[in-house]
Copies of this chain bind each other. A is one copy, B any other.
Amino acid sequence: MSIIKTAAGLQDWLNASDRRNKTLGFVPTMGSLHEGHLSLVRQAREENDLVIVSVFVNPMQFAKGDDFKSYPRDIERDHQLAGAAGADVVFYPSAEEIYVPGCSTTVEVDGEISMKLCGESRPGHFRGVTTVVSILFNITGPDAAYFGQKDAQQALIIKKMVKDLHMPLKIKVCETVREKDGLAMSSRNVYLDPDERRAAAVLNSALEKAQDDLRSGRANCCDTECLRQLIEDEISKEPLADIDYVHVLDAETLEDMSAVMPERPAVAAVAVRIGKTRLIDNRILALK
């Protein structure tokens, strides 16, 4: 299993692999692979003849002051893990390979779906995501691409981009993989010291409590503001947690909604700083 660093090299590999007569699955990542990523690779392996994993820490989706420079990188480890999970090749381009000199073209999904949650906290972030994902789709040309539900908003925006622009591939969104205490797997978890790591479990426990309350039918449990407040209260009990946002919104469009309804699930999404580390998590809140 090889590492390929150029678009031309990848094209050669695709031609040599008889791609035209095969199905191709693609897992775009920023590397620092964990079980969440690997579950995507395994699903891509099950569903396709060929599997490409890309490792690219995309400068365009980080703002000044974000953790672009410190973002964990270990291509040798990623190479090994991706291969063991079933990848045929790791695409590991430089920034210059992805962004040609003088490039100035962007792909952007406008509207509420991009303005709320991380769109509000991280201006320009999703434009960076949709642009690089478009470029990676164009270079790899997959039949299906795999994303984690952990980045719920990202997955919704990419699905919308693909639909709006008629991109010829399927987007598969796979369940969040969690640590034993429920913490969603994230490359950023390595930033946490032991106390912070313990505290970080509050994101999941708060979201789970909201889900339990909804399912058990407690008073006002369908009211999204009530659910939101419950999650905020739960997280606030943790002294190391500093809330960036807690929202309960339409699970497909991220529009505001007043109550969870049988045919209209919500997504409860949170972003919380634990020490200096910003973590996100979410749960679908459905009545059925």
Residues of A within 8 A of B (CB): 7, 20-21, 98-100, 102-111, 113, 130-131, 134-135, 138-139, 141, 160-161, 163-168
Whether the Cβ atoms of B110 and A138 lie closer than 8 Å is no
CB-defined contacts of A161 to chain B, threshold 8 Å: 105
21 interchain pairs, CB-CB under 8 A: A20-B20, A98-B166, A99-B164, A100-B163, A100-B164, A102-B111, A103-B164, A104-B109, A104-B110, A104-B160, A104-B164, A105-B107, A105-B110, A105-B164, A107-B165, A108-B108, A131-B165, A138-B165, A138-B167, A138-B168, A139-B168
Residue from B7, B105, B139 in contact with A160 in the complex, judged by beta carbons closer than 8 Å? B105
The 4 closest A-B pairs by CB, nearest first: A105-B164, A103-B164, A104-B111, A104-B110
A113 neighbours in B (Cβ, 8 Å): 104
Chain B contacts of A130 at CB under 8 A? 105
Least CB distance from A111 to B in Å reads 4
A47 to B99, CA, bound (A): 30
> For A20, what are the chain B residues with a Cβ–Cβ distance below 8 Å?
20-21
A158–B7 Cα gap in the complex (Å)? 20
Chain B residues, CB < 8 A from A138: 165-168
State whether A106 and B108 are in contact (beta carbons under 8 Å apart), knowing that A20-B20, A165-B135 are contacts in the complex. Answer: yes
Residues of B within 8 A of A100 (CB): 163-164
A160 to chain B: closest residue by CB:
B105
Q: Which residues of B contact A168 (CB under 8 A)?
A: 138-139, 141
Rounded to whole angstroms, the CA-CA distance of A165 and B141 in the bound complex is 12
Q: Once the chains bind, are A108 and B105 in contact (CB under 8 Å)?
A: yes
Query: Bound complex: CA of A200 vs CA of B103, how far in Å?
Result: 37
A138 nearest CB neighbor, chain B only: B166
Residues of B within 8 A of A166 (CB): 7, 98, 135, 138-139
Chain B residues with CB under 8 A of A103: 163-164
Query: CA of A194 to CA of B213 in the docked complex: distance in angstroms?
Result: 77
- Among A21, A113, A165, find the residue whose CB has the most chain B CB atoms closer than 10 A: A165
Chain B residues with CB under 8 Å of A139's CB are 166, 168
List of B residues within 8 angstroms of A105 by Cβ? 107-110, 130, 160-161, 164-165
Q: In the bound complex, how far is the Cα of B165 from the Cα of A138, in angstroms?
A: 7
Q: Give 16 new A-B contacts, CB below 8 A, not counting A20-B21, A106-B110.
A: A7-B166, A20-B20, A103-B163, A103-B164, A104-B164, A105-B130, A105-B160, A106-B107, A107-B134, A107-B165, A131-B165, A134-B165, A135-B165, A138-B167, A139-B166, A141-B168
Q: Once bound together, how far apart are the Cα atoms of A167 and B164, in whole Å?
A: 17
